[in-house]
Structure 1
Amino acid sequence: MKNKKRFYNIFWRWHFYAGIFIAPLLITLTISGIGYLFYTNVENQLYDHLFFGDSTKSESVSIDEAIENAENRYEGYSVAKVSVLKDDYNTRFTMTNTEGNQKYVFIDDHNQIVGSQNAASTYSNVMRGLHSSLFVGGTVVNYLVELAACWAIFLLISGVYMSFKGKILKKQKGTKNKRQKHKKLHAITGTIIAIPMVILIFTGLPWSALMGNIIYSTAQSHPSIGIPELQQVPPTSEINEIPWATRKNETPTSSDAHAHHHGIAGNMTDNDNTISVQQLMQKIDESHISKPYSIIYPMNEDGVYIVAKGSNSGVTGLDVSPDEEVTNYFDQYSGKLISKVGYADYGILGKWYTWGIPLHEGHLFGWPNKIINLLVCLAFLTIIIWGYKMWLDRKVKGKLSAPPKTPMGKSFGGFIVLLVILGIIMPLFGLSLIVIALIELIVYLLQKYKNSSTNHL
């Protein structure tokens, strides 16, 4: 019985400290996640004129003339991607400049310019920036966000353990005080949302700094379980179709080395040998590729036009169902469909990305997905608030009132096994445990040195 009590106290103490330190960050991430959950609904209202409106001009022009008009109007910017959106949405150009800034330009059914947006200040990008990097960005902040997510997993597991072992969920006789009521509500709610919350966190980890890179690298290194090789190394256009006299002329390339990975390629509109976007769109129609889709420009002279339908584009009016996701590769000179990669070609990791991210974002199965995610997030915020209330109800003024420290013993064995398992699954969590262990060791050695010095005197 004594060992069981010690085991419970270990969980309680770690649960307490984890909650105290990461709860503010978890609150920020959860609230921003709720904001992002409804970005399509918000943007449809905020940007109604850009998304669905018409320009003041009624004359129809070709899509290539529209691209030329946009590049003339927004000096220094060039079109890198054309997004043909679903339903009644206007077509969107993604334009970039040499500094890496982006602008979205919308054209109506006549291919006339309706208006533009600064990409960095759109609602979806602002919410995404807050949720993934707290607006600050950088390696340290990205690791901090990932670390909070990892420790949230520990909080949920340890909370469920204490709920059952502490008999909190059982009906108790007698009158309950305020702290006991908060404790029970905290335990019941946490137990109910534990599994949905863990799923939400793990489907968000593909974006994380360390674990996300590990997952992505694994998917690239093992195409059979991850990303098909064709998607990693796209085919090339038939360069022999370029006239011999101009074949060695230098062509513009993207200023971002990772542009292709992020869906933005180099600007090849200055290459006279490349087929026009209008011609390409005719080839797309002939290939029975329905909208929505994005046309991504070739990155260099032997690059290809990439025509993609994605389930997690993060663009209002562009997402499709995961099983409809496909990437098509068109020769930039002949317009021939060279090859394509669809959902059926993905490995298990690739399919997890494809289903998991829209589930995390709340648009995998429509409004029910949004409502479920919203309820789970609100419940998570509530248990954090109840957790703070429980602490404040028993806190002694001027003291932290942390749970009692449990001396090392056999009871630590199972706890350490759990930490090791979580540390393997979530490497950044494991690294943080090593840091904690080093701090504990330093404190222990300093305390031992202090005690030995006192005894010597």
Structure 2
Amino acid sequence: MKNKKHFYNIFWRWHFYAGIFIAPLLITLTISGIGYLFYTNVENQLYDNLFFGDSNKSESVSIDEAIENAENEYDGYSVTKVIVLKDDYNTRLTMTNTEGNQKYVFIDDHNQIVGSQNAASTYSNVMRGLHSSLFVGGTVVNYLVELAACWAIFLLISGVYMSFKGKVFKRQKGTKNKRQGHKKLHAITGTLIAIPMVVLIFTGLPWSALMGNFIYSAAQSHPSIGIPELQQVPPTSENNEIPWATRKNEPPASTDAHAQHNGMSNKTDNSNMISVQNLIQKVEEAEISKPYSIVYPISDDGVYTVSKGSNTGVTGLDVSPYEEMTTYFDQYSGKLISKVGYEEYGILGKWFTWGIPLHEGHLFGWPNKIINLIVCLAFLAVIFWGYKMWLDRKVKGQVSAPPKTPMGKGFTGFIIILVMLGIVMPLFGISLIVIAFIEFIIYLIKNKNRGIKEHNLIK
């Protein structure tokens, strides 16, 4: 019985400190996640005219003329992507300048310009920036966000353990105080959402800094469990419209003789390239239906990349995971060179092709959004009740942390659990090593101070 109590107290202390330190970040990530959950609905209202409106010109022009008009109107910008959307959405041109800034230009059914957006300030990109990198960006912040997600897993696991071991679910005799009430709400709600929340966190990890790259590398290195590899010139790496499973694939090069001309570091500007209008005809002949994105070649021996994705981050562009595909067309002849579809993915590729839209809330329509919303709101409530529990027992001027437990049999079991979690989540494991190092330094300092005091007493 004593060992069980010992084990419980270790979990309680770590659960407490983890909650205190990462709860503010988890609140930010959860709220921004809720905001991103409804980005398509918000953008359809905010950008109604751009998405569905018409220009004041009735004359029809070809899409290539529309691209030329856009490049003339927005000086310094050139079109790098053409996004042909479904239903009543206008076609979207992605334009980029030499500094890497992007602009979205919308053209109507007559291929006339309706208007434009600064890419960085769109609702979806703002919410995505806040959720993934807290607007700051950079490796350190990306690791911090991933670390918070990893520790959230620990909070959920330790919370469920304490809920059952602490007999929170049993009816208690006597009068309940406020702290007991908050504890019960905290425990019951946390236990109910533990599994859905773990699923949400793990389906978001493919975009993370450390674990995301590890997962993708594993998928690339082992095609039988991941994704097929195409060997040639890599496409631009920042293309959100290319499906996650093939985003870093290397497409084949165009084989036309014109490909021997001098290359360029960004979008190629070769006059011998097939027109976008003709390419769209080739796409239709290949029976690729809307919506899809066309990414320009980046060199004279590059290819057009035409893709359909289930997790594009573009309103009106997502498709079912089964429809995902990435195709490569020769930039000169328009010939379909190769195609990678969902059925060719391995288990990892397929899992995340389903998992990411599940995480984003559009895998199975409104029910997906509502379920994600309920889980997120419940998670915020769990954090709130956790803080209330702490404040109910907190002594003024003190942290009022759970009592420190000396090492014993329970501590060994706890370490084993932490090591297992550290193996599954490498960044979590690294953070544990850092904590252990800090604890060791503190231990040495305390021992040194104790030795000095004892020496002075002997004197």
- Work out the percentage of aligned pairs sharing the same amino acid: 81
1:377 paired with 2:376, answer yes
- Counterpart-to-counterpart distance in 1, 2:261 and 2:213: 36
- Counterpart-to-counterpart distance in 1, 2:22 and 2:362: 28
Q: How does 1:352-363 map to 2 (within 5 A)?
A: 352-363=351-362
Superposition deviation, residue 146 in structure 1: 0.6
Superposition deviation, residue 253 in structure 1: 2.7
Superposition deviation, residue 234 in structure 1: 1.2
Equivalent position of 1:236 in the other structure? 253
Q: Number of paired residues? A: 439
Equivalent position of 1:91 in the other structure? 91
Superposition deviation, residue 252 in structure 1: 2.8
Please list the CA deviations of residues 27-69 of structure 1 after superposition, one character each: whole Å capped at 9, or x if unmatched.
Answer: 0000000000000000000000000000010000000000000
Equivalent position of 1:395 in the other structure? 394
Superposition deviation, residue 434 in structure 1: 0.5
The one-letter amino acid paired with 1:431 is: I
Secondary structure of the residue aligned to 2:82 is strand
Secondary structure of the residue aligned to 2:254 is coil
Equivalent position of 1:183 in the other structure? 183
Equivalent position of 1:24 in the other structure? 24
Equivalent position of 1:324 in the other structure? 323
Equivalent position of 1:251 in the other structure? 263
Equivalent position of 2:453 in the other structure? 454
Please list the CA deviations of residues 190-223 of structure 1 after superposition, one character each: whole Å capped at 9, or x if unmatched.
Answer: 0000000000000001111111111111111112
The one-letter amino acid paired with 1:250 is: N
User: Would you say the 8 A contact 1:220–1:229 is kept in 2?
Assistant: yes
Secondary structure of the residue aligned to 2:205 is helix
Superposition deviation, residue 236 in structure 1: 1.6
Superposition deviation, residue 134 in structure 1: 0.2
Equivalent position of 1:58 in the other structure? 58
Secondary structure of the residue aligned to 2:103 is strand
Q: How does 1:373-452 map to 2 (within 5 A)?
A: 373-452=372-451
Superposition deviation, residue 233 in structure 1: 2.2
User: Would you say the 8 A contact 1:149–1:201 is kept in 2?
Assistant: yes
Equivalent position of 1:347 in the other structure? 346
Q: How does 1:23-422 map to 2 (within 5 A)?
A: 23-230=23-230, 231=246, 232-240=249-257, 242=258, 248-254=260-266, 267-268=267-268, 270-422=269-421
User: Would you say the 8 A contact 2:263–2:301 is kept in 1?
Assistant: no
- Counterpart-to-counterpart distance in 2, 1:433 and 1:393: 29
Give the alignment's Cα RMSD to 1 decimal.
0.9
Superposition deviation, residue 303 in structure 1: 1.1
Superposition deviation, residue 248 in structure 1: 4.5
- Counterpart-to-counterpart distance in 2, 1:87 and 1:239: 35
Superposition deviation, residue 335 in structure 1: 0.9
- Counterpart-to-counterpart distance in 2, 1:143 and 1:438: 19
Please list the CA deviations of residues 259-280 of structure 1 after superposition, one character each: whole Å capped at 9, or x if unmatched.
Answer: xxxxxxxx23x31111000001
User: Would you say the 8 A contact 2:256–2:333 is kept in 1?
Assistant: no
User: Would you say the 8 A contact 2:321–2:353 is kept in 1?
Assistant: yes
User: Would you say the 8 A contact 1:92–1:105 is kept in 2?
Assistant: yes
Superposition deviation, residue 251 in structure 1: 3.3
The one-letter amino acid paired with 1:237 is: S
- Counterpart-to-counterpart distance in 1, 2:29 and 2:178: 29
Secondary structure of the residue aligned to 2:261 is coil
Flag as ranges the 4+ runs of structure 1 deviating above 3 A: none
The one-letter amino acid paired with 2:446 is: Q
- Counterpart-to-counterpart distance in 2, 1:375 and 1:105: 36
- Counterpart-to-counterpart distance in 2, 1:217 and 1:326: 20
Please list the CA deviations of residues 370-424 of structure 1 after superposition, one character each: whole Å capped at 9, or x if unmatched.
Answer: 0000000000000000000000000000000000000011111111111000000
User: Would you say the 8 A contact 2:295–2:304 is kept in 1?
Assistant: yes
The one-letter amino acid paired with 2:182 is: H
Secondary structure of the residue aligned to 1:314 is coil
User: Would you say the 8 A contact 1:309–1:324 is kept in 2?
Assistant: yes
Please list the CA deviations of residues 310-366 of structure 1 after superposition, one character each: whole Å capped at 9, or x if unmatched.
Answer: 000000000000010011111111111111000000111111221111000000000
Please list the CA deviations of residues 282-322 of structure 1 after superposition, one character each: whole Å capped at 9, or x if unmatched.
Answer: 11111111100001111111111111000000000000000
TM-score (norm 2): 0.94
User: Would you say the 8 A contact 1:239–1:301 is kept in 2?
Assistant: no
Superposition deviation, residue 16 in structure 1: 0.2
- Counterpart-to-counterpart distance in 2, 1:393 and 1:22: 20
- Counterpart-to-counterpart distance in 2, 1:375 and 1:200: 12
User: Would you say the 8 A contact 1:311–1:358 is kept in 2?
Assistant: yes
Unaligned runs of 5+ in 1: 255-266
- Counterpart-to-counterpart distance in 2, 1:61 and 1:170: 72
User: Would you say the 8 A contact 2:183–2:389 is kept in 1?
Assistant: yes
User: Would you say the 8 A contact 2:7–2:414 is kept in 1?
Assistant: yes
TM-score (norm 1): 0.95
